[in-house]
Amino acid sequence: MLKGKFLSRVLSMAVLSAMLLSLLAVEPARAVDMSYSQNFSGGLGGWTEVIGNAAVAVENGELSLTSAGNGNIIVDNNSPDVMDGTYTITLKPDGYSRCGVVIRYSSTTNYAAIAYDTGNNWLWWNGLGQSGTLTSSGPSMASGSTHVLKVQYTGFIITLWLDGDQFYSGTVGTISGSGTVSLLPVNAGKIGVVNWYSAHTHFDNVTLDYWTGTDIQLGGIVGEVENDTNPTVGSLTNFEALGEEYMDNYNYSIGKDVGAGRAVNKVEIWNDDDSITRVSSMSDYEVYYSNDNVTFTKINNVAFSSRTENNRTVHTFIFDAVLARYIKLHAKYSDETGDFYIAKRQKDFKAFGPTLPQPSSYKMPLTGGYLNSDTDPTTGVLADWGTSSTVAVDYQSRSVGLDFSSTVPIDTVELWDSDNASTLTENNFTLYKSDNNASYTQITGWTFSTRTENNRLVYKFVFTNTNARYIKIHCNITGTGGTFQLLNISEDVRAFSNIPANSTAGLADGLGGYRSSEGDTIMLKDGRILMAYSLYQASGGDNAPCNIVSRISTDNGYTWGSLNTILSQLLVHIKSKSPVAGILLIVLIELLDLTPIGTGVLHESPPSVEYDLNIHPSVRHLIFINRRPSFNSVIPGSKAPPSSVNFKLDTYVPP
pLDDT exceeds 60 at position 503? no
Phi (first) and psi of residue 77, to 5 degrees? -70, -15
Residue 376 CB neighbours (<10 A): 10
The reported pLDDT for the residue numbered 521 is 58
Give a yes or no: residue 655 inside a domain. no
Nearest CA among 296, 161, 174 for reference residue 228: 296
Give a yes or no: residue 654 inside a domain. no
Last residue within a domain, chosen from 210, 242, 264? 210
The reported pLDDT for the residue numbered 62 is 92
The reported pLDDT for the residue numbered 642 is 34
Same domain for 413 and 458, yes or no, is yes
What span, in angstroms and rounded, lies between the C-alpha atoms of 392 and 487?
Answer: 9
Q: Is the pTM of this model over 0.75?
A: no
pLDDT exceeds 60 at position 211? yes
Give a yes or no: residue 626 inside a domain. yes
Same domain for 420 and 542, yes or no, is no
Last residue within a domain, chosen from 472, 497, 522? 497
- Give the count of domains, the chain: 4
**Residue 604: what residue type?**
E
Here the contacts of 136-141 (C-beta below 8 Å, separation 24 or greater) are: 137/454, 138/162, 138/167, 138/168, 138/454, 139/163, 139/165, 139/167, 139/453, 139/454, 140/97, 140/452, 140/453, 140/454, 140/455, 141/91, 141/93, 141/97, 141/99, 141/116
> What is each CA distance from 367 to 292, 324, 494, in whole angstroms?
45, 42, 10
Same domain for 62 and 115, yes or no, is yes
Give a yes or no: residue 426 inside a domain. yes
Same domain for 597 and 574, yes or no, is yes
Phi-psi region of 227 (alpha: psi -120 to 50; beta: other; left: phi over 0): left
List, in order, residues 6 or more apart from 517 with CB less than 8 Å away: 533, 534, 535, 536, 546, 573, 578, 580, 605, 607, 630, 631, 632
Give one DSSP letter per residue of 188-243, joined into a string: -BEEEEEEEET-EEEEEEEEEEE--S-EEE---EEEEETT-S-TTT---B-TT--S
Same domain for 134 and 167, yes or no, is yes
Give a yes or no: residue 553 inside a domain. yes
Most confident of 69-83, 235-249, 285-299, 319-333: 285-299
Give a yes or no: residue 268 inside a domain. yes
Same domain for 247 and 341, yes or no, is yes
Give a yes or no: residue 476 inside a domain. yes
pLDDT exceeds 90 at position 585? no
CATH of the domain at 58: 2.60.120.560
When pLDDT is cut at 50, 70 and 90, the band that residue 260 belongs to is low
List the domain range (segments joined by +) for residue 88. 34-210
The reported pLDDT for the residue numbered 85 is 86
Q: How many residues are listed for the chain in this entry?
A: 655
Task: Quote the longest CA-to-CA distance of the chain.
Answer: 89
Give one DSSP letter per residue of 168-193, joined into a string: EEEE-EEEETTEEEESS--S-BEEEE
CATH of the domain at 283: 2.60.120.260
pLDDT exceeds 60 at position 602? no
Same domain for 350 and 381, yes or no, is no
Same domain for 481 and 388, yes or no, is yes
Same domain for 71 and 202, yes or no, is yes
Same domain for 140 and 238, yes or no, is no
Nearest CA among 244, 236, 243 for reference residue 220: 236
Give a yes or no: residue 487 inside a domain. yes
Least confident of 9-18, 25-34, 194-203, 494-503: 9-18
Tell me if 522 sits within 8 A of 551, measured CB to CB: no
Same domain for 457 and 476, yes or no, is yes
Last residue within a domain, chosen from 473, 497, 521? 497
Phi-psi region of 344 (alpha: psi -120 to 50; beta: other; left: phi over 0): beta
Same domain for 376 and 236, yes or no, is no
List, in order, residues 6 or more apart from 237 with CB less than 8 Å away: 223, 224, 225
